[in-house]
Amino acid sequence: METESNLSTSIQSPVRSILAEHEDPYRELNLAESGALTRCELNAGELDIELTFPYPVAGITRPLVKLLKPKFEALKDVKEAFIRIRQDVPVVPARSGTEAIPGVRQVICVASGKGGVGKSTTAVNLALALQVEGARVGILDADIYGPSQALMLGVQGQRPETHDGKTFEPVIAHGLPVMSMAFLLTERSPTIWRGPMVSGAFTQMLRQTNWGELDYLVIDLPPGTGDIQLTLSQQVPVNGAVVVTTPQDIALMDARRGIEMFRRVDVPVIGVVENMSLHTCSNCGHTEHLFGEGGGDRIAAEYDTQLLGALPLALSIREQTDSGKPSVISDPDGSVAQLYREIARQVGARLALFARTQGGHDLITKTQGTDE
């Protein structure tokens, strides 16, 4: 929050005028309106500026500093401007009937109406992208019957430790705390359980894992609208859902069912990710919409949400994920990784908007980057 101690009144007005000329790229507010300015001090010609965002922004830090720095240095009495960009992910009070997860600020579930649309690939790359953008992130593989995150993160065969016989320490993969049923079973062990057992296993993994301090916990849900989804909506303070689909009509029909389910249990839909949107031939470069075109846009418009991104049908995405190094890690400068990072920033910004309307508050601010 802004205080008299960190905002100098004499320089504040011209600084705000400059900030008012630039939009927050992921919220419909300019940088002055958004309250991003949390420090503004001028001492002996040195201007100390701090901008705080309620979502992870590592990917836009340098361009933003490069844009603003010369404008601040053109102000009267300013010899040099020092700009710090920080994030402060808000905490949202658990909604009635649910219990907060200790240490976890926000919960994101990634869902799909049917299998085979790339939901788990989206979940793992979203979690990694949020982490690369500067957030503290964990991932829970809630697909009890078909867990895949252990393979996708290259930690299959590992077992979580327990120090007290009551709670688990998550497996760490690429810096992410991870919990999955795959850690508790062998690869050839089928999970032959009825609904109550499945819900119980999900609750145990969620509540008995020592997640530590996280900005976001990403939950990779099983496809459909079954027991896990119902348990989640009843017991977990989910802050928003990402719905994954392909452009196919049948996939879109199932995605609608998923969105309707979240609406009925009062879980806001952050947006839609469209997988397998476009295929480019590796030999001739010809591009083609193999599964249809514009489906993600249509369903987002229908439910007053937004299309977060459209991912291509690319062999590399499958190969990288199968090798235990998803696209965000294996090819961080590639176009696919950049798409996931763009989706991650949009997800964070949308959650910040939800938090603002739901009475979220800030606890811990951490520096994302400094450029002077």
- Given pLDDT bands bounded at 50, 70 and 90, which one contains residue 246? confident
Please state which CATH class domain 9-87 belongs to. alpha beta
* pLDDT greater at residue 249 or residue 335: 335
What pLDDT is recorded for position 253? 78
In the numeric block, which tokens belong to residue 130? 């949020």
Distance CA 229, CA 118 (A): 18
Q: Find the mean pLDDT for residues 232-256.
A: 82
* Rounded Cα–Cα distance for residues 98 and 77 (Å): 53
Q: What is the mean pLDDT of residues 174-202?
A: 71
**Which option is the CATH number for 104-358: 3.40.50.1820, 3.40.50.300, 3.90.1150.10, 3.20.20.70?**
3.40.50.300
Encode pLDDT of 105-137 as tens digits.
999 999 987 777 889 999 999 999 999 999 999
> pLDDT confidence of 286, banded at 50, 70, 90?
low
Sketch the domain layout of the chain as residue ranges: 9-87, 104-358
Residue environment code for 333-342, b if the CB has 16+ CB neighbours within 10 A, otherwise e: ebebbbbbbb
Res 368: pLDDT: 46
Supply the pLDDT for residue 160: 86
Tokens of 117: 């649309």
The verdict on pTM exceeding 0.85 is yes
Q: Could you tell me if 135 and 58 are in contact, meaning their C-beta atoms sit under 8 angstroms apart?
A: no
- At residue 364, the pLDDT reads 34
Lowest-pLDDT choice from 11-25, 68-82, 127-141, 239-253:
239-253
Q: Is 121 exposed, middle or buried (0-12, 13-18, 19+ CB in 10 A)?
A: buried
